[in-house]
Amino acid sequence: DADDARGENQRVRAYAFAPPPLLDRLSSLACRHYVTSVVNNSDIIPRSSLTNLDVLMTVLEAVICALTEASMNPGAGATNRVPSSLALFRKLSEGTNGKLVIEPRELKRIQKEAIYEATLGDGGLDENYWNEDGDHHLLVPGKVLLLYQKWGDNKRKTLIKPPGDGDHERDAHNAVWTNGTVKLLKGFELGGGSQAVTDHLTVSYLNALNGCMKDP
């Protein structure tokens, strides 16, 4: 009958919350019709590809070099370990009022160069970042629902009025449909305001989904 026909034609759909990068670019885009991945804000897990780790290591190496030049790297040598540790602690004690060891603009330049080196071999005008022939260039699968909150809006709340209840506050979030090639997944969000670890928690996903819902 008609009910049986609808049941036979029903497609299988998969929903993945906070999935790691696990498919090459072609496979990731090909399964977008039946796989939906949900990524919350700066969640570190969907960004944990070897390519992103390679870029992060390059940035960290630059930071270590800057600390060494400023005599604030305790691991640079056994002879100056104590003076370097003291100098590093003094710098950390300056807090946000101290002078930066390396400027954010310089870190951004280093990151862009590292990303460029990681994409060599992708093809002339291919801006999708991952090499289809490289096994370690992996993406989050399918269509991606990216939940995000602007860093400047971390304290912004939205008032809601559930039926038969008083006013409540919830975090204000936004959402956009995209896929695994989006630039926001091409690196770790580790700057000020990032919550790379806590954004992976179940409660963070629930809050983000609730924050995207329209008022009743």
Residue 123 pLDDT more than 80? no
Q: Is residue 190 within 8 Å of residue 48, measured between CB atoms?
A: no
| Strand 35-40 relative to strand 143-148, pairing | parallel
Give pTM, 2 decimals: 0.71
31-87: pLDDT as tens digits: 999 999 999 999 999 999 888 888 888 888 998 898 888 888 887 766 678 888 888
Cα dihedral: 112, 117, 122, 124 (round 10): 70
pLDDT tens digits for range 162-174 = 444 544 455 678 8
The fraction of the chain above a pLDDT of 70, given in percent, is: 72
Distance CA 38, CA 19 (A): 8
How many residues belong to the chain?
Answer: 216
CB atoms within 10 A of CB 15: 11
